[in-house]
Structure 1
């Protein structure tokens, strides 16, 4: 498979990726909010979302590591979700929104504050995961999609060019 980079650098500096689906927004939302569905493309989760935190098992990662995810905001009616994950200096904020379009729905994924030195791995990673989401929603097997070498390192240069690091003095 020849994966294509789809990310852009938004005017505010955030990494932004988009995907269009043929299912209604309400159905697509379940792939973000229902553990059995998130497991198909990203990872299952456990915990009580109303507590503001869940634990995600990253099923596509070697060893299926578990990660705490803080739910910063969740508006089911507007299909908006904002979470943070990570620890210490590597805390990432992720913003997902879904909107109805003429033949289905559109997902906009944003990652504000991306450290440019991480763009060469993070950008390909989100293209990979969102393509897994497309596969899952369409009924295909997301596990057929390979991160290495199709996304990483294949797409690294593209994302490094979007988020250049400052030259060292």
Structure 2
């Protein structure tokens, strides 16, 4: 069973973030391509279509979820090989997802910090295991090894994220 690695961070009284990191023995350019090239995202997250660019909208289909729905992804910021910030709209009845990927390269390694801004810290209890799964899918797809099994993440990692939520909720 994979261990949970993410943390919930309270930035202000109203801003809470779920943050997870992964480190790759690769350049930032190579990791960036894994995050932005539709041929590569298809192997771990899902395909996307459209014309990318800051202020533009593309569509993403998360292949490893139930159903085949396409989500709207508004590109809010894009600094190649450094930072990508998007807003994902899936269901008008639910909050949008504000997601950011930050890359830092040092001595031939690149650290990816993935951040999900949360309107409600409690959302981390369900989304934390989900992002752990997807980031481990990214790791596996880059390494050419079998993809992880969702059942190893949920509900096994919920307790970790519940403790993270409780920690930030206290103060």
1:163 is matched with 165
Q: Return 152-161 or 59-68, whichever deviates more.
A: 59-68
1:70 aligned to 2:74? yes
Runs of 5+ consecutive residues of structure 2 not aligned to the other structure: none
Deviations 1:81-124 (A, max 9, x none): 00011244411100101111223211001112252232221000
Give the distance between the partners of 1:163 and 1:96, measured in 2 at CA: 21
1:141-156 correspondence to structure 2 within 5 Å: 141-142=146-147, 145-148=148-151, 150-156=152-158
The number of aligned residues is: 162
2:140 is matched with 135
> Does the 8 A contact of 2:85 with 2:98 survive in 1?
yes
What TM-score do the two structures reach when normalised by structure 1? 0.88
Runs of 5+ consecutive residues of structure 1 not aligned to the other structure: none
Runs of 4+ more than 3 Å apart: none
> Does the 8 A contact of 1:43 with 1:57 survive in 2?
yes
Q: Return 86-95 or 123-132, whichever deviates more.
A: 86-95
1:34 aligned to 2:37? yes
C-alpha root-mean-square deviation of aligned residues, in Å?
1.9
